[in-house]
Amino acid sequence: MDTTKTKDDTAIAVQADKLNAFVRTLAEKAGVSSEDSAILADSLVEANLLGIDTHGVSRLPIYLKRISLGLIDAKAKMTFKKNMPAVGVLDAHNGLGQVAGVRAMNEAVKLAKECGIGMAGVKNSQHFGAAGYYCTIASKQGFIGMAFTNAEPALPPWGSYEAFFGTNPIAMSVPTRNDVPIVIDMSSSIVARGKIVAAARKGTPIPADWALDPDGNPTTDAQKALDGSVLTMAGPKGYALALMVDILSGVLTGGGSGKGVNSMYKDMAHPANVGHMLMAINPEAFMPREIFIERMQNLVAGIKSLKKRPGTTEINYPGERKDRVKKTRKSSGITLDESVVRELADLAKELNVEFKL
């Protein structure tokens, strides 16, 4: 892989297509089919392109480690069962979360074409990375996409300091008149846990209001935070949202929920047992598509025309800033932390794949 050092010598810029090819090769070497490796590479590199580095290629080493331990089945034959005209469940049979997420959203879109709405639950899955990725599969085809996933226990219900819910993200993508869809994509924690994982990897402190240590005290130590719990977004409201996501992704799909979801990093004896919920809504079930797009355009124009606070040059809608990051990173390369590059280099060595710095 050709990489160049950026001005900040702890970060390295890598071209997206080369990173994509490298991830595909590593995944294939680890036993993933070429079709599924392409899905995995595209979803991880897309997260990096959008600046969501916590959910990009930095996750590849743990996925491949879990494959080598037999905790993820690289060759899983996933099955989709339609239960009602607009609803079905995909059993990921312990395959990769990204592959399950893409397959399930494709099924949801198919159902939404016929029924106006499509819901595809997923059980027996894994961490699937950035939830927004799956929603844009729908919005690129003119549908509203929604995605939810549970995750390993990290958040305490309000009033407790015991990790119970995952950082359970909520995502939605809506087509707009231009080629930049609205993408709302956020964890129900105060920050995505990936940011704490990244701080622990680098050995840097975290803000004191992000997490509690295992005894329930606020901590700036990223490792103690990972051993303890991450605080919810907006206090008790984040708890309520995490609960909602767990009901949709875990309870309703027949997957794991609450403490029934296992840790990807700490539990090297059991599959993760993650559940997701993917939804597609067909605007044509409500009004002609063109009218919907026009109404969306009016809404966006209304937001953009508002009076700006000092220091604000433009009011963005969710998805716009990340799209600009993507355009920059496509031309100048993806900036990867040296610690991530080191882990990828180790992985390449292990799998006997060329890694050229």
Ligand X SMILES: NC(=O)c1ccc[n+]([C@@H]2O[C@H](COP(=O)([O-])OP(=O)(O)OC[C@H]3O[C@@H](n4cnc5c(N)ncnc54)[C@H](O)[C@@H]3O)[C@@H](O)[C@H]2O)c1
Q: Which is nearer to ligand X, 265 or 286 (CB)?
A: 265
Q: CB-wise, 5 or 321, nearer to ligand X?
A: 321
Comparing CA positions, the residue from 207, 193, 169, 202 lying closest to residue 336 is 202
Helical ranges in 155-283 per DSSP H: 193-202, 222-227, 236-246
**To the nearest whole angstrom, how small is the minimum distance from the Cβ of residue 116 to ligand X?**
25
Instruction: Give the residue with the Cβ less far from ligand X, 171 or 180.
Output: 171
> Between residues 3 and 165, which has the closer beta carbon with respect to ligand X?
165
- Could you tell me which of 147, 194, 146, 187 has the C-alpha nearest to residue 167? 187
Q: Give residue for tokens 């893409």.
A: 102
Task: Tell me the closest approach of the beta carbon of residue 344 to ligand X, in angstroms.
Answer: 20
Q: How far is the CB of 185 from ligand X (least distance, A)?
A: 4
User: Cβ distance 90 to 107 under 8 Å?
Assistant: yes
Give, in order, the Cα–Cα distances in Å from 189 to each of 90, 119, 206, 302: 27, 25, 14, 30
**Min CB(312)–ligand X separation in Å:** 9
Residue in 132, 141, 139, 167 with CA at minimum distance from that of residue 51: 132
| Residue 25 or 181 having the CB closest to ligand X | 181
CA dihedral 48, 54, 58, 64 (to 10 degrees): -110
285, 117 Cβ separation under 8 angstroms: yes
Residue 261 is classified by DSSP as: S
Given the rule CB under 6 A, which residues bind ligand X? 52, 55, 127-132, 149, 151, 166-167, 169, 171, 184-187, 191-192, 194, 316, 318-319, 321
| Shortest CB 77 distance to ligand X, Å | 23
What CA–CA distances, in Å, run from 211 to 154, 227, 238? 10, 10, 14
Give 129 or 283: the residue with its C-beta nearer to ligand X.
Answer: 129
The nearer residue to ligand X, 86 or 195, going by C-beta atoms, is: 195
Closest CB 318 distance from ligand X, rounded Å: 4
Distance of closest approach, residue 115 Cβ to ligand X, in angstroms: 26
If the CB atoms of residues 248 and 348 are measured against ligand X, the closer one turns out to be: 248
CB of 200 to ligand X, least distance (A): 16
Give the DSSP H/E element, type plus range, for residue 150.
Answer: none
**CA 296/CA 290 separation, integer angstroms:** 10
Up-side HSE of residue 12: CA atoms within 13 Å toward CB? 16
